Amino acid sequence: MGQPRVNFCFFLFIIRVLISLQSKEHVLLDMKASGSELGWLTSPNENGWEIVQTVVNSSLLYTYSVCNVDSADQDNWVRTTFIQRRPESSRVSVELQFIVRDCNTFGGASVTCKETFNLFISEADADVGTSFRKGQFRKVATIAPDEVTRGRVPKVNTETRTVVPLSKKGFYLAFQDMGACVALLSVRVYYKTCPSTVQSLAAFPETVADALREVEGVCVKNAVSQTTPRIYCTAEGKWVVPVVQCQCLPGYEATENSCQECKPGYFKPSASNEFCQVCPDNTKSSLAGAAECVCEDGFFRSPSDPLTAACSAPPSAPRDLTSTTLSGDGRLLLSWSPPLETGGRSDLTYSVACEICDESQCVACGEKIRFETGPTELKEPGVVVSDLDSHHNYTFTVEAHSGVSQYGTERATATITTTLDYTNPPKVTSIHLDDRGPTSLSLSWTLSRRPPAHISHHYELMYRKKDIEGESDVTTYTVLILDKNSVQINDLTPDTTYLFRVLVKLSPEAMPGSYSKDQPFHTSALAESQTQNKPTLVMGAVVGVAVILLIVVAVLLLRRRSLCSRGRGGPEDPYFSTDQLKPLKAYVDPHTYEDPNIAIQKFVKEIDPNIIRKEKVIGVGEFGEVFRGMMKVPRKGELAVAIKTLKPGYSEKQRQDFLSEASIMGQFSHPNIIRLEGVVTKFKHAMIVTEYMENGALDTYLKEHDTEIPPYQLLGMLRGIAAGMKYLSDMNYVHRDLAARNVLVNSSLECKVSDFGLSRVLEDDAEGTYTTRGGKIPIRWTAPEAIEYRKFTSASDVWSFGIVMWEVMAFGERPYWDMSNHEVMKAINEAFRLPAPMDCPSAIYQLMLQCWQHDRSKRPRFSDIVNILDKLLQSPESLKTIADFDPHVSIRLPSTSGCDTTMFRSVPEWLESIKMSQYNESFARAGITTMDHVLALRPEDIRNIGVRLPGHMKRIAYSILGLKDETSSLSVFAV
Binding residue (CB under 6 A) for ligand AMP from 78, 201, 293, 626? 626
Ramachandran angles phi, psi of 670, nearest 5°: -155, 140
Beta bridge partners of 188: 30, 95
What CA–CA distance (Å, rounded) separates 15 from 5? 15
Nearest approach, Cβ of residue 618 and ligand AMP (Å): 5
Q: How many residues bind ligand AMP (CB under 6 A)?
A: 15
Binding residue (CB under 6 A) for ligand AMP from 12, 416, 538, 618? 618
Nearest approach, Cβ of residue 429 and ligand AMP (Å): 29
Which of 186, 191, 124 shows the shortest CA–CA distance to 162?
191
Binding segment for ligand AMP (CB under 6 A), chosen from 180-188, 450-458, 501-509, 684-692, is: 684-692
Q: CA–CA distance from 127 to each of 29, 122, 168, 172, 189 (Å)?
A: 15, 11, 11, 9, 17
Binding residue (CB under 6 A) for ligand AMP from 182, 208, 404, 642? 642
Residue 173 near residue 187, CB atoms below 8 Å? yes
CB burial class (10 A; 0-12, 13-18, 19+) of residue 920?
middle
How far separated are the first and last CA of the chain, in Å rounded?
16
Give the SS3 label for residue 362.
strand
Q: For residues 522-551, which are near ligand AMP according to CB under 6 A?
A: none
Q: What is the 8-class DSSP label of residue 101?
A: B
Residue 243 near residue 221, CB atoms below 8 Å? no
Kindly state whether residue 660 participates in binding ligand AMP, applying the rule CB under 6 A.
Answer: no
Options 737, 797, 864, 941, the catalytic residue: 737
Total H helices, total E strands in the chain: 20, 49
Identify which of residues 621 and 784 has a Cβ nearer to ligand AMP in the complex: 621
DSSP sequence for 788-842: HH----HHHHHHHHHHHHHHHHTTTPPTTTT--HHHHHHHHHTT--PPPPTT-BH
- Tell me whether residue 367 is annotated as binding: no
Identify which of residues 352 and 738 has a Cβ nearer to ligand AMP in the complex: 738
Binding segment for ligand AMP (CB under 6 A), chosen from 230-238, 380-388, 613-621, 775-783, is: 613-621
Task: Report how far Cα 518 is from the mean position of its chain's Cα atoms.
Answer: 53
Q: For residues 715-774, which are near ligand AMP according to CB under 6 A?
A: 744, 754-755
Nearest approach, Cβ of residue 610 and ligand AMP (Å): 21
Nearest approach, Cβ of residue 725 and ligand AMP (Å): 17
- Tell me whether residue 344 is annotated as binding: no
Residue 333 near residue 384, CB atoms below 8 Å? yes
Residue 329 a catalytic site member: no
Q: For residues 334-373, which are near ligand AMP according to CB under 6 A?
A: none
- Tell me whether residue 626 is annotated as binding: yes
Binding segment for ligand AMP (CB under 6 A), chosen from 15-23, 248-256, 286-294, 686-694, is: 686-694
Nearest approach, Cβ of residue 757 and ligand AMP (Å): 8
Binding residue (CB under 6 A) for ligand AMP from 451, 571, 696, 927? 696
Nearest approach, Cβ of residue 624 and ligand AMP (Å): 9
- Tell me whether residue 261 is annotated as binding: no
Kindly state whether residue 619 participates in binding ligand AMP, applying the rule CB under 6 A.
Answer: yes
Give the SS3 label for residue 726.
helix
- Tell me whether residue 567 is annotated as binding: no
- Tell me whether residue 620 is annotated as binding: yes
Binding residue (CB under 6 A) for ligand AMP from 690, 729, 759, 890? 690
Binding segment for ligand AMP (CB under 6 A), chosen from 244-252, 301-309, 692-700, 724-732, is: 692-700
- Tell me whether residue 621 is annotated as binding: yes
Nearest approach, Cβ of residue 626 and ligand AMP (Å): 4
Amino acid at 960: I
What CA–CA distance (Å, rounded) separates 609 from 611? 5
CB burial class (10 A; 0-12, 13-18, 19+) of residue 737?
buried
Amino acid at 439: T
Kindly state whether residue 323 participates in binding ligand AMP, applying the rule CB under 6 A.
Answer: no
Binding segment for ligand AMP (CB under 6 A), chosen from 190-198, 221-229, 346-354, 691-699, is: 691-699
Binding segment for ligand AMP (CB under 6 A), chosen from 135-143, 432-440, 687-695, 957-965, is: 687-695
Binding residue (CB under 6 A) for ligand AMP from 209, 604, 659, 693? 693
- Tell me whether residue 624 is annotated as binding: yes
DSSP sequence for 429-466: EEEEEEEE-SS-EEEEEEESSPPPTTSEEEEEEEEEEP
Active site residues: 737
Binding residue positions for ATP: 618-626, 644
Residues that bind ligand AMP (CB under 6 A): 618-619, 621, 626, 642, 674, 690-693, 696-697, 744, 754-755
